[in-house]
């Protein structure tokens, strides 16, 4: 499946052909990257009875062709259809990206929920009471998704509603996370320099494993004549277990140091990740072009 978009040749040129030292995004990128023509897809990875209910474990995949956040529609139950055609509403469902935007072609099976003070890992699943997974059974989940850049002032830009249709006869218990479809030019090396708001250059200068997870060291270099801020929030990561780690907060509310004119600034962010999780990628949102508009990048830290 091809889900390359206008952004891909731009980044590929910047990385492979032009020999640039940093990634330059055109001013009209917001217009050139509209809502993806695809949508999210999902598969069932496991089905088993549990405490009188049928539990269906789910993996979701971003096939929109763009960065995207998705979540189930509020107060909208999933619908289980048995092999006999009878339907049952399923009120227990945890399906979504936990507020984060996931890179196109990536797939996941869990996110961080709970509260900032007490976060918890939430696997994606649906529970249906009083049903049995007979041959021909299906599951339908109504959801809402947004694509592209995150604009604090217009968060519903490129929003759409859709439905996941999952054939429960086609279980997929073995999945390679987190990449389902390779997209040329999408993923940046950790040393990539990213041009952010006011032409400030953002660089990831270090990544360290800690007792609780990962610590990222960031640097901004300001070539301008005025001080500047570059907000990136607390970037989440996803690895070979398919869980998107990092409690979601809008990236503009997380404090960052000011970068003085003609100087540099440094700071760190942290994310809790189990030591055994490997093959990690950062899902990075960078304030770019104007205040509270965030462009997304996937950064490769799989060598960690």
Residue 152 lies in a domain: no
Tell me the per-residue pLDDT of 214-253, one tens digit each, with 9 for 90 and over.
Answer: 999 999 999 999 999 999 999 999 999 999 999 999 999 9
Is residue 151 in some structural domain? no
Q: Give a yes or no: residue 25 inside a domain.
A: no
Q: What are phi and psi of 281, to 5 degrees?
A: -130, 140
Q: And the tokens for 225?
A: 């004549």
CA distance 104 to 93: 23
CA angle 47, 50, 56 (to 5 degrees): 30
Q: How far apart are CA 222 and CA 282, in angstroms?
A: 23
Domain hosting 263: range is 187-300
Residue 37 is predicted with a pLDDT of 53
The DSSP secondary-structure symbol of 15 reads I
CATH number for the domain that contains residue 283: 2.60.40
Quick check: is 244 in a domain?
Answer: yes
272/237 Cα distance (integer angstroms): 9
The total of structural domains in the chain comes to 1
- pLDDT at res. 51: 87
What pTM does this model have? 0.87
C-alpha separations of 304 from 15, 18, 183, 213 in Å: 22, 28, 22, 12
DSSP 273: -
pLDDT at residue 1, rounded to an integer:
36
Q: Give a yes or no: residue 202 inside a domain.
A: yes
């Amino acid at each position: 499946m091809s889900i390359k978009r206008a952004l891909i040749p731009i980044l590929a040129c910047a990385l492979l052909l032009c020999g640039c030292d940093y990634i330059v995004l055109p001013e009209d990128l917001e217009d050139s990257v509209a809502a993806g023509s695809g949508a999210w897809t999902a598969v069932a990875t496991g089905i088993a009875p549990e405490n009188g209910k049928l539990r269906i474990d789910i993996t979701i995949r971003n096939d929109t062709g763009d960065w995207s956040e998705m979540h189930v529609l509020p107060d909208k139950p999933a619908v289980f259809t048995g092999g006999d055609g009878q339907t049952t509403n399923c009120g227990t469902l945890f399906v979504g990206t936990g507020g984060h935007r996931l890179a196109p072609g990536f797939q996941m099976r869990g996110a961080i929920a709970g509260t900032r003070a007490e976060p918890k890992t939430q696997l994606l699943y649906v529970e249906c009471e009083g049903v049995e997974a007979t041959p021909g059974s299906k599951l339908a989940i109504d959801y809402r998704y947004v694509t592209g850049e995150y604009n604090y002032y217009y968060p519903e830009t490129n929003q759409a509603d859709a439905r996941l249709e999952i054939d429960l006869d086609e279980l997929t218990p073995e999945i390679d996370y987190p990449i389902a479809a390779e997209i040329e030019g999408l993923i940046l090396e950790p040393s990539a320099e990213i041009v952010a708001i006011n032409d400030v250059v953002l660089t990831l200068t270090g990544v360290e494993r800690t007792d609780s997870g990962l610590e990222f060291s960031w640097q901004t270099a300001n070539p301008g004549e005025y001080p500047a801020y570059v907000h990136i929030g607390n970037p989440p990561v996803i690895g070979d277990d398919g869980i998107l780690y990092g409690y979601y907060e809008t990236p503009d509310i997380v404090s960052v140091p000011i970068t003085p004119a003609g100087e540099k600034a440094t700071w760190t962010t942290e994310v809790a990740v189990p030591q055994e999780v490997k093959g990690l990628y950062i899902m990075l949102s960078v304030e770019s072009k104007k205040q509270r508009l965030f462009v997304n990048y996937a950064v490769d830290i799989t060598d960690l």
